[in-house]
Each structure stands twice: as structure tokens, then as C-alpha cells.
Amino acid sequence: MTQSRKRQLKLGIGLQGAGGHWRDPEVESNGAVSIAAYQEYARIAEAAKFDFGFIADSAYITKHSTIPFLSRLEPMTALSAISAVTKHLGLVGTFTTSYSEPYTTARQLASLDIISDGRAGWNAVTSALEGVARNHGHDKLHDHALRYRIAKEYIEVVKGLWNSWEDDAFTRNKETGEYVDLDKLHTLDHVGEFFKVQGPLNLERSKQGHPIIFQAGASEAGRDLAGRYADAVFTSFEDADLEKAKQTYRDIKSRTASYGRNPDEVLLFPMISPVVGATAEEAQERYEEGNQYIDVDYAVKYLSRYFSFFDFSQFDLDQPLPELGDIGQNSFRSMAEYYLRIAREENLTLRQLAYRATNPRGDFVGTAEAIADKFQHYFEERAVDGFIVAGSHRNLRNFTKLVVPILQERGLFRTEYESDTLRGNLGVSFPVNRYTEARNQTAIHG
């Protein structure tokens, strides 16, 4: 992070057309597949100077999937269309390392980075649903540890490909006729445990060097991956437990340092759904209104996704859940462990647990002042570096109109973009091309 710059809160939005909010009077019912709805959502965030829009994703549905998953746009396509109507907002998409080719991912993300002039980000995940494997030529999902081993090599390959061209390789000098300096093109020649990729990538670097890397996954292996490679981490927030969030924060920062990286350059972002009201009571009512659209079947289905669609319907809705062993270990492991733990510790019934998963109250239901106070507190206590704000268009409008100005008045959040790249706004330093670095070293030391 640029040392001279004061540490400031960063904000992202969970970018979606509508999904679960399809009945919201302010959006079209087909918002989940309406690029106009995505673009509108992005524009609201950009007008409020948000750092980035974020699209979570996976490639598997069943009849048990809940509405936001059933029919939605593929992130790269959606982000490309959003880039055309925005100028500053970062564009972060989720692309799995488990069932795809690193060359393709490197190229697509680099293209988005060029199209948006340096605003692309990659949320590098390991697929957690059995069905994703079945959609990609496999019968069974790789086990958790293997998925993370593949992810490590995958990210190495992608980063290697993003180093194919040095930054100043393309001279494009019409007078001299020199288009490119081919000495500044480098072949990767990667042969590893899982991938064999020759390279080089057929795309130059962007204004921000290459896309920002996000990571999402909170187990030991997930945090390790974040420490090695991530510029930002999408964290789960476990019902906004401040102490737990601080532990996670310290843990990821210290892992980052242990890999010889600057811990200030990995930023932690939980996703939350703030609900603002003129009074605390009004906010609570609005939050409860949100619950009225969620029937219990929907809530149970939503919960079951974290367990790769484990069949919870065999249990009584209003009895405490029985001991369930280690279900979910090969799925969204960290989230599955969390839900099983709170069910046990708080003796929750299936109904209660399902609602906790579907509509977590967190600590962010209240007046604009109260929400701004919480943001400030979590930020100053170093439990987070920022938040990804999710929710309906209406919630986002309220949030930007009522909460953002308070954060700005307090000097916690920007009033103008510092940069036109995502990297510049997040304060993450430019990734010097490894070959340029070597060339410069040789020039200095002879």
C-alpha cells in the first residue's frame, strides 16, 4: 500500500441484476438476466465511489437450487458489458481453478483488464459443489486438499502468463515502423503436477499490470492460498463476530508476511447486507419484511447448498438438529463447519438454522449513523479492510444515500476516486514484470 496514503475503508458491491430480490418493485422481475439491471446497479455503486462490483458464481444447479442461482449471467460476459458503462468501478468475477484451463482464464481476465483499462479482478475459487465436477467431465469432485493443490499451481500459471509481455514491449511507433520489441516477449514453458502450459500469452499487460487476485475459502488451505497470492480476500463473517473477524484478519496478514509479502497489500472483505432505517425499529421492520418473502423450504434449500445439497428434509423443522458428523467437509468446508457449530452450540432447530443462513442479521440493521459506527469500529479494530455490500437495488440506494456520506464526512471513505485502476484505488502496488525486474537488476549491477 502506498505508505503516504492514509488507511481508508474500501467498499465493493455484490453485483447482481436482481436474483433473490426479483419481487422488489424497483427492479424488473427478470433482473437476474437483465444486463440493464446489472448496469444500473453498477452505476449506483460507481456514483457512490465504490471500489468494485463483485460477482460470485458457480456452474451447477439442481431443482433444489434457490432462485438467485437458477438462471443468471456468466460473470465474464456480464462484466464486459458493465465495463462499457462505467469508468472507475473495479470489475471482479469468480472463476474456478478446479475445472477450467489456466490459459483460457488468464486470457479472458487479461482481456477484461484491457477492455476496462485496468479495472479487472479475479476471485479465484476452488469449486465446492459435486455437480460442478459432473458438468466438466468428472464423476466426483476432487477432494478438498487436492482442489487447493491444483489452485496453487493454477494461479502460478496464470500469473506466469500475465508476465509474458513486459510493460513497454509494444512501441507501436508509426514513424519508425517498430510495432513491438520481441526481446520483451517471454515463454512460460510450465510443466507441473497438473498443468502443462507453454505460453506465451497472446495479450499484453494492462494499465494496472494485470488483474487483482481475490481468494474465497477460509480453511487452513484456503488461508494459506490467500497468504501466498491474494491481493484481497472474500471472507465469511460468521454473524459479524468481531473477535473471530480480528483473528482471521491477523491470521491472513501474518501468513502474507510469512510469504515475504507486505501484509498491508492483502485486504479483507466480508459480504454483508445492511438494512438502513430512519429509526432502529424501522430498520428492524425492513429486515423482517425481507424474511417474509423467504419460505422455509427456500431457506432449507439455501442452507443445503453449503453441504453440496445434503438432504435436510429428512429432519423435523422444529426439532434441534441431530449430530451430523462431518457432512460438508468436501463442499464449502469452512461454512459447513460454521453452520454445524452454531446449530450445536445454540441448539438450533432446522428452521432456525436455515433462516440464519438465508438472511443473516449480522450487526448491520439500524440507522445510518449506527451502521456507519459499526463500519468504523470493525475497520479501526482491524477486523476488516472494507465490506462487500449485498442486497436489493433499494437497499443499495439507501445505503449510498444515507450511510456513505457519513463515512465520507468522517474521513473514512473517499469522496473522489484516487485512481482510474482497481489496483490504484485499492492501494495495491503495481506488479513489476519479473523479466523487467531482472533486466533492471542487470543494468544496475552490470
> Hey, which residues between 82 and 111 contact ligand FMN (CB under 6 A)?
94, 96
Q: Does 372 bind ligand FMN (CB under 6 A)?
A: no
Q: How far is the CB of 236 from ligand FMN (least distance, A)?
A: 4
For 67, other C-beta atoms within 10 Å of its C-beta total 18
Distance from the Cα of residue 441 to its chain's centroid: 35
Which residues have C-beta within 8 Å of that of residue 82, sequence separation ≥ 6? Answer: 15, 35, 38, 39, 42, 53, 89, 91
State the nearest-atom distance from the C-beta of 174 to ligand FMN, in Å: 44
Interface map 57-76 toward ligand FMN (x if CB under 6 A): xx------------------
For residue 334, state whether it binds ligand FMN (rule: CB under 6 A): yes
Phi, psi (deg, nearest 5) at residue 325: 65, -135
Task: Give 55 or 403: the residue with its C-beta nearer to ligand FMN.
Answer: 55
C-alpha 351 chain-centroid distance: 28
Cα separation, 346 vs 216, in Å, equals 26
Q: Using the structure block, give the residue that is written with the C-alpha cell 490459459.
A: 103
C-beta of 220: minimal distance to ligand FMN in Å?
A: 8
Q: Which residue type, as a one-letter code, is found at position 187?
A: T
DSSP secondary structure code for residue 32 in this structure: G
By CB under 6 A, is residue 248 in contact with ligand FMN?
no
| Residue from the set 154, 234, 249, 339 that interacts with ligand FMN by CB under 6 A | 234
The closest of 280, 335, 281 to 303, measured between CA atoms, is: 335
Question: 296-305 vs 350-358: helix axis angle to the nearest 10?
Answer: 70
Residue window 192-221: x/- pattern of binding to ligand FMN, with contact defined by CB under 6 A? ------------------------xxxx-x
- Which residue lies nearer to ligand FMN by CB, 124 or 404? 124
Among 49, 152, 305, 333, binds ligand FMN (CB under 6 A): 333
Quote the least distance from Cβ 265 to ligand FMN, whole Å. Answer: 20
H or E element that contains 398: helix 393-398
User: CB under 6 A: which stretch of 3-11, 56-64, 66-74, 383-391 binds ligand FMN?
Assistant: 56-64
Closest separation between CB of residue 115 and ligand FMN, Å?
22
* Binding residue for ligand FMN, selected from 50, 165, 309, 332, defined by CB under 6 A: 332
Q: How far is the CB of 296 from ligand FMN (least distance, A)?
A: 24
26 counts as binding ligand FMN under rule CB under 6 A: no
Between helices 35-47 and 75-83, what is the axis angle to 10°?
60
Kindly state whether residue 222 participates in binding ligand FMN, applying the rule CB under 6 A: yes
Whole-Å CA distances, 349 to 128, 329, 339, 342, 412: 25, 21, 12, 11, 40
Count of residues in contact with ligand FMN, rule CB under 6 A? 22
- Out of 56, 158, 232, 272, point to the residue binding ligand FMN (CB under 6 A): 56
Helix (H, G, I), strand (E, B) or coil at 309: coil
Residue 191 CB neighbour total at 10 angstroms: 9
What sign results for the dihedral spanned by CA atoms 256, 262, 263, 267? negative
Find the binder of ligand FMN among 266, 335, 365, 372 (CB under 6 A): 335
Interacting residue ranges for ligand FMN, rule: CB under 6 A? 56-58, 94, 96, 125-128, 216-219, 221-222, 234-236, 332-335
